[in-house]
């Protein structure tokens, strides 16, 4: 008898490892492993969530017109060229599902977000990993890996877990050199943490084959709501909408995201606090021999002597109720990714790593 079997390649997909949130035996933990906003969502988003409860008997909007208008107004973009998804993860998945399949190649970079190879495989395509140079995306390495089968190139700007930026000229160089048959996805999950940065929107306007993705999970503090969006040429948005379920975003999620993006005051507060605490955290750790690249995000990538020291430090932090992220799976074995928390969290991280370095561990 023939057994039920999944499609070829499905069982090769490694399950996504999320940031840890509990430590056995430790009660009051501070989670700094998933780059969440330590200040929570905008109070206006919380109010919108409460208000939405009374109409949950109704299906949500299928075209997300109101949220797309709000995003368009905030960023000066044409709402007709915006698509919303269940987190930017879903938008990234639409791109892979619609544009790559068996026999196609999908390029991502050495320290790139771990969902890229997962969604490439979900689409039946072959992920191709390209080396970075000193924790920075290397455009020459990407171009050297492009073949006639390449359909998508994923880059993150600023990068996760590296926190580094790809210079604009390099992105233009990449977009100009890629064949028209190949899409370039600029994942801007952390774009709001960079001052005066459009996340790649101008490049989308300039190149037909460039897509930008963004999220409400990071600076807007709505990771639990699952809302992201993408901006691309009209022709691409029309394709992506065909693989999107009509009610992918709940009424509550739409209301929360719209309220959040309209609350500019709260956005400025989160941006300013993150920028201040990020510099303080990086400087204090550098003083005790734990360097990091200048960060353009809401985390720092703290570098240790070697993998053993990074892991020992992580173990010590856990005993202190501090959960950070090991990134050996991103080919960064000697580093720990530490989300910039609130002031208390940053002070506790510095104190604990100082104790560890002084041998108190």
Beta strands in 45-123 (DSSP E): 82-85, 105-109
| String of DSSP letters for 292-317 | -PPPSSSEEEEE-SSHHHHHHHHHHH
Cα distances (Å, whole numbers) of residue 10 to 15, 123, 219: 11, 9, 33
- As a whole number of angstroms, the distance between CA 261 and CA 39 comes to 16
Cα distances (Å, whole numbers) of residue 145 to 148, 174, 247, 270: 10, 12, 38, 38
Per rule CB under 6 A, is residue 293 in the interface with ligand PLP? no
Per rule CB under 6 A, is residue 222 in the interface with ligand PLP? no
Indicate which single residue of 125, 189, 210, 211 sits in contact with ligand PLP (rule: CB under 6 A).
189
- The angle subtended at Cα 153 by Cα 149 and Cα 155, nearest 5°, is 165
Least Å from the CB of residue 186 to ligand PLP: 11
- The angle subtended at Cα 244 by Cα 241 and Cα 250, nearest 5°, is 120
Per rule CB under 6 A, is residue 164 in the interface with ligand PLP? no
Per rule CB under 6 A, is residue 248 in the interface with ligand PLP? no
| Number of shown-chain residues binding ligand PLP (CB under 6 A) | 13
Largest CA distance in the chain: 66
Per rule CB under 6 A, is residue 89 in the interface with ligand PLP? yes
Indicate which single residue of 88, 97, 162, 163 sits in contact with ligand PLP (rule: CB under 6 A).
88
Q: Which is nearer to ligand PLP, 113 or 356 (CB)?
A: 113
Per rule CB under 6 A, is residue 157 in the interface with ligand PLP? no
Least Å from the CB of residue 153 to ligand PLP: 14
Least Å from the CB of residue 113 to ligand PLP: 4
Least Å from the CB of residue 266 to ligand PLP: 19
Check the CA dihedral 76-82-86-88 and report its sign.
Answer: negative
Least Å from the CB of residue 18 to ligand PLP: 9
Indicate which single residue of 52, 157, 160, 274 sits in contact with ligand PLP (rule: CB under 6 A).
160
Q: Which is nearer to ligand PLP, 60 or 228 (CB)?
A: 228
Helices and strands in the chain, H and E counts: 12, 12
- Binding residues (CB under 6 A) for ligand PLP: these are 35, 87-89, 113, 156, 160, 187, 189, 215, 217, 223, 228
């Amino acid at each position: 008898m023939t057994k039920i079997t999944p499609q070829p390649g499905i069982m090769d997909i490694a399950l996504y490892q999320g940031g840890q949130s509990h430590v056995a035996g430790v009660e009051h933990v501070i989670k700094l492993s998933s780059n969440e906003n330590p200040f929570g969502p905008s109070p206006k988003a919380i109010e919108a969530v409460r208000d939405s409860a009374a109409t949950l008997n109704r299906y949500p909007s299928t075209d997300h017109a109101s949220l797309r208008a709000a995003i368009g107004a905030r960023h000066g973009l044409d709402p007709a060229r915006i698509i919303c998804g269940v987190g930017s993860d879903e938008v990234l998945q639409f791109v892979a599902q619609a544009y790559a399949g068996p026999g196609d190649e999908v390029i991502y970079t050495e320290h790139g977000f771990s969902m890229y190879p997962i969604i490439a495989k979900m689409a039946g395509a072959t992920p191709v990993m390209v080396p970075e140079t000193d924790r920075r995306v290397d455009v020459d390495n990407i171009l050297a890996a492009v073949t006639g089968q390449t359909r998508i190139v994923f880059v993150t700007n600023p990068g996760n877990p590296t926190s580094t930026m790809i210079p604009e000229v390099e992105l233009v160089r990449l977009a100009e050199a890629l064949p028209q048959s190949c899409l370039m996805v600029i994942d801007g999950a952390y774009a709001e943490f960079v001052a005066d940065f459009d996340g790649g929107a101008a490049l989308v306007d300039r190149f037909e084959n460039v897509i930008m993705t963004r999220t409400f999970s990071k600076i807007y503090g709505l990771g639990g709501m699952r809302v992201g969006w993408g901006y691309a040429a009209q022709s691409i948005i029309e394709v992506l909408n065909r693989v999107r379920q009509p009610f992918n975003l709940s009424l509550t999620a739409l209301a929360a995201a719209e309220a959040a993006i309209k609350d500019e005051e709260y956005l400025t507060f989160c941006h300013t606090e993150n920028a201040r605490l990020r510099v303080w955290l990086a400087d204090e750790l550098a003083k005790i021999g734990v360097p990091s690249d200048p960060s353009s995000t809401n985390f720092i990538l703290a570098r240790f002597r070697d993998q053993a020291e990074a892991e020992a430090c992580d173990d010590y932090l856990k005993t202190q109720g501090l959960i950070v992220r090991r990134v050996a799976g991103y080919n960064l074995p000697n580093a720990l990714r530490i989300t910039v928390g609130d002031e208390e969290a940053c002070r506790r991280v510095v104190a604990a790593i100082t104790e560890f370095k002084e041998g108190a561990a």
